[in-house]
Chain A
């Protein structure tokens, strides 16, 4: 007796994601989305050639941990002022979040302390 092989149509397929979403599995989604995502990556690399290979590295996360807090050490500031005398203090530069080397935040770089507290407009 000839045994017919089972056809794919005979197999029961369990649905993993809702049918309305054309990206029914992450693989398909990744493949379809790969072109735009890679194109976007190429755009970014073209604009910023010095961008590191892996964004998930520790520099990136360290920035996240510091979350844009401003550092101001009055001791450093005054010592730098005394050293420089008449010369200008190095200004904050484009990236105010970095605290490295000679970069010393100046009072102008610091965010202003908030004024007196007012009732929320949601309660108005």
Chain B
């Protein structure tokens, strides 16, 4: 197929026009490895946006309140808190270096004033508490002028300190460390709808944790064969159902998805549902299995559907139908004729994520050349947009992009051969309610908004 962009019709609702809002991060050409963003996640209300990077750091942005005196900053995301979540470690027993890269961040639903999130690297999950402090107690008479503690026997008067306002301080503290439960590399974490438990998945196992208990976790899925020579597939992603606390799904490197019900047995090695699209055996090639590997699985907000991302497409599945997806959206089909070089430069193993909008009417995923794709499920329209600093004037509309697969390249089209495969958009996030999206382009975070906002 020739053009892979939409015909200028924006996706994501009725006549949506996406505009540039903000870009975060350095402009320099030389990107330090540590600055590469590895995960992006909005909180449940959308007022906080968290990013994790390869250097193990978490940066949280907060949406500014509407302020009539500063109309331009309405709805802008500014830095709220930043902290070092994970550090590089060395496992001396196995002579292994453990990367500090943050693989995933998941917010807990807000219950009090403080905010909580889970962040994980390859081996350890941490629960962070982010709290605000805007008052300070003053007037203690326990120390003398030099700051030294006074002898308690010499203090004869009782003085109650007064709470005085101070500049807002946001503190992040690690409240739980869930370690030593994974032999292989953690690829997913997912908070249960019961708000008490969560799962963590690595290549071969899925564990269930209680948020309060760190010295123990329960293994619920184990696909490790007795003989490693017989290994045929690995777990690539896992997620809990948004409403049914007993249901979880996990995807595999073979392009299949298994749904497990924790009520049926303690160990969910036997699935309750098995989702696989039938394949035409005559079309099988060396690349078939690799490109069918599911890199991300996400339930719709409604809980009725789930979406899977494989190398070339995004598929929407109805949980009631295991035989085939109900929708297949091509992300960058023009890459099918480039698979050889994509295998050689390892790009064929890139793990793209995907996300739903708040109403489940649209889905979004990333591609190469800093392009990302949006598909509107109600109008059947799709569009290709680009995250680039060239298009970063405030409220500038994003122009749809087109890729030319072969033959004559039209004006404004980008030829497949000139795509920059080092500029990959693997991580994107959609605000839970509004039409605001966050797109991670290597070391930069772009925020786009709907013009109407």
A interface list, Cβ under 8 A from B: 16-23, 26-27, 29-31, 33-34, 36-41, 43-45, 47, 51, 54-58, 61-62, 64-65, 67, 69-73, 110-111, 113-114, 117-124
Contact = CB atoms under 8 A, between A and B. Distances in A.
27 contacts: A16-B324, A19-B380, A21-B330, A23-B328, A26-B280, A26-B328, A34-B282, A37-B288, A37-B337, A40-B336, A40-B340, A41-B287, A44-B339, A44-B343, A47-B340, A55-B286, A55-B287, A56-B289, A58-B230, A61-B231, A61-B253, A64-B203, A72-B95, A110-B97, A118-B34, A119-B82, A122-B51
Contacts of A18: 327, 329, 375, 377, 380
Given A37-B287, A61-B232, A117 B55 contact: yes
Contact of A65 (B24, B184, B339, B382): B184
B35 A33 contact: no
A40 B82 contact: no
Contacts of B6: 20
Contacts of A22: 1
B230 A65 contact: no
Given A36-B337, A61-B253, A111-B97, A44 B286 contact: yes
Nearest to B284: A30
Contacts of A27: 280
B57 A21 contact: no
B333 A117 contact: no
A40 B339 contact: yes
Given A26-B278, A120-B59, A58 B26 contact: no
Given A55-B289, A69-B97, A40 B338 contact: yes
Interface string B332-369: 01001111100110000000000000000000000000
Given A56-B254, A120-B57, A30 B280 contact: yes
Contacts of B24: 122
B95 A73 contact: yes
B445 interface: yes
B53 interface: yes
Q: Sort chain B's interface into a size bin.
A: 35 or more
A61 B286 contact: no
A61 B286 CA distance: 15
Interface of B: 1, 6, 24-26, 34-35, 37, 51, 53, 55-57, 59, 79, 82, 84, 87-88, 94-97, 100, 184-185, 203-204, 228-234, 253-254, 277-280, 282-283, 285-290, 324, 326-330, 333, 336-340, 343-344, 375, 377, 380-382, 443, 445
A19 B343 CA distance: 31
Contact of A62 (B35, B95, B231, B382): B231
Given A17-B327, A21-B328, A26-B277, A71 B95 contact: yes
B46 to A, nearest CB: 18
Given A18-B329, A23-B333, A30-B279, A122 B37 contact: yes
A69 B55 CA distance: 17
A51 B290 CA distance: 14
Given A73-B95, A122-B25, A55 B290 contact: yes
Given A17-B327, A61-B233, A38 B280 contact: no
Nearest to B79: A123
Given A29-B328, A31-B280, A123-B79, 14 more contacts: A16-B327, A17-B327, A18-B327, A20-B380, A40-B338, A47-B340, A57-B232, A58-B228, A62-B231, A121-B26, A121-B443, A122-B24, A122-B51, A123-B82
A118 B83 CA distance: 10
Contact of B382 (A20, A26, A44): A20
A67 B187 CA distance: 12
A29 B328 CA distance: 11
Nearest to B227: A58
A114 B88 contact: yes
